[in-house]
Amino acid sequence: MDLFATLDTMGHEEVVFFHHQESGLKAIVAIHNTVLGPALGGLRMWPYKNEQEALTDVLRLSRGMTYKASVSGLNLGGGKSVIIGDPSQKSEEMFRALGRFVQSLGGRYITAEDVNTNVQDMEYIFQETGYVTGVHPVHGGSGDPSPYTAMGVIQGIKACLNKKYRHTDIGKCSYAVQGLGHVGYHVVKHLRDADAKVFVTDMQQQRIDQCVELGAEAVKMDDIYGVNAKVYVPCALGASVNEKTIPQFKFEIVAGAANNQLATDACGDELHQRGILYAPDYAINAGGLMNVSIELQGYDRERANRMVTGIYDIIGNIFALAEREKIPNYRAADRMAEQRIAAIGRVKLPTVNQSYERFFVGRKNGH
């Protein structure tokens, strides 16, 4: 990869590689865009095959965070971080080392939990920097954001049902949920609470068993793409909507929590041509980001609930723009995000970053 050419194409401002030999930390932080505010995005730990795979992932994820924050109406930019390693080998030393590195960025990047990281890991980071969200409520945090991500996905599904079938009764449809981690499990629970038919799959049998106890039906990993369900709900890693899986779809809607669901833009075009309604991933899965973003002004659970409920309208607005301009939904979402960034970029709100900086400095000092 020609790194600078790639950054120029994707629009990134900064990519930083961190290494702490004593703890085994190998991490990459990608800051995509800070026009709307400091870059906020989660910390993912994954056993990447090599540094190139990790870099590709963090670049795609951080760009998605820019668009997610923008369409959500947040005064935040997009960033992401990844740790290259086996999650079973994580340690306090590793996350505290990362915390020191995040502190060295001076507030341009704010971290949070993501795949294979949790509240306890954020607590370790918090020992070294205030530029972290999703910490324990005793430190002014909101804890695990997964339930809010799931709540937002349900709101997005309702918007899809309204667009496709002119109703919002999730119990009337059937669903295929791929990935049953923290977010996927909560999505399944919401669906089953509505008495919906739900097919599930995951790499871990324990997660499948938990959802079967809720009344879901388990299928094999490769069989999930061809089940007879109305809605595909991808909640695992990205690119599950691709040239091999789309021909198997009996689905009429794709709406889930995974990032980067479309393997390529061409796959988004293919869904559009087939009449399969797609809820753009970074819009429907924004509930977790919305929730932790509220920590930046002082966490309020009622406000978080109101904001996440608004994902229904965000998805509806994307559909309306797509229909009006006769473009696929993923392109409409991009257009909405880019237009807001361009508009606010012309205004340039210098006080936004300054107010966040005062908050984090005060928070870390216990004020």
**Rounded CA gap, 244 and 261, in Å?**
13
**Rounded CA gap, 334 and 236, in Å?**
22
**Residue 351 confidence (pLDDT):** 52
pLDDT tens for 14-55 read: 999 999 999 999 999 999 999 999 999 999 999 999 999 999
Do the Cβ atoms of 188 and 198 come closer than 8 Å? Answer: yes
pLDDT tens for 249-303 read: 999 999 999 999 999 999 999 999 999 999 999 999 999 999 999 998 888 999 9
**Rounded CA gap, 243 and 68, in Å?**
25
For the stretch 244-253, contacts whose Cβ atoms lie closer than 8 Å and that sit 24 or more positions apart, written own/partner, are 246/270, 246/271, 246/274, 249/225, 249/274, 249/276, 250/226, 251/176, 251/276, 252/164, 252/276, 252/277, 253/157, 253/160, 253/161, 253/164, 253/277, 253/278, 253/279
Give pLDDT < 70 ranges for the chain.
Answer: 1, 348-367
- Distance between the two ends of the chain, CA-based, in angstroms? 45
Q: Which of 366, 360, 367, 365 is nearest to 130 (CA)?
A: 360
Q: What is the DSSP letter of 255?
A: -
**Rounded CA gap, 63 and 57, in Å?**
10
- pTM of the predicted model as reported, rounded to 2 decimal places: 0.89
- The amino acid at 270: E
**Residue 367 confidence (pLDDT):** 44
Other CB atoms within a 10 A radius of the CB of residue 264 amount to 12
- Distances 221 to 179, 181, 208, 215, 239 between C-alpha atoms, Å: 9, 14, 11, 18, 15
Contacts of 8 (CB under 8 A, 6+ apart): none
Domains of the chain: 3-65+76-132 (3.40.50.10860), 146-340 (3.40.50.720)
Do the Cβ atoms of 365 and 357 come closer than 8 Å? Answer: no
Do the Cβ atoms of 304 and 145 come closer than 8 Å? Answer: no
242: left (phi over 0), alpha (psi -120 to 50) or beta: beta
Do the Cβ atoms of 292 and 40 come closer than 8 Å? Answer: yes
**Residue 237 confidence (pLDDT):** 82
**Residue 141 confidence (pLDDT):** 84
**Residue 360 confidence (pLDDT):** 59
**Residue 366 confidence (pLDDT):** 54
- Enumerate the active-site residues: 80
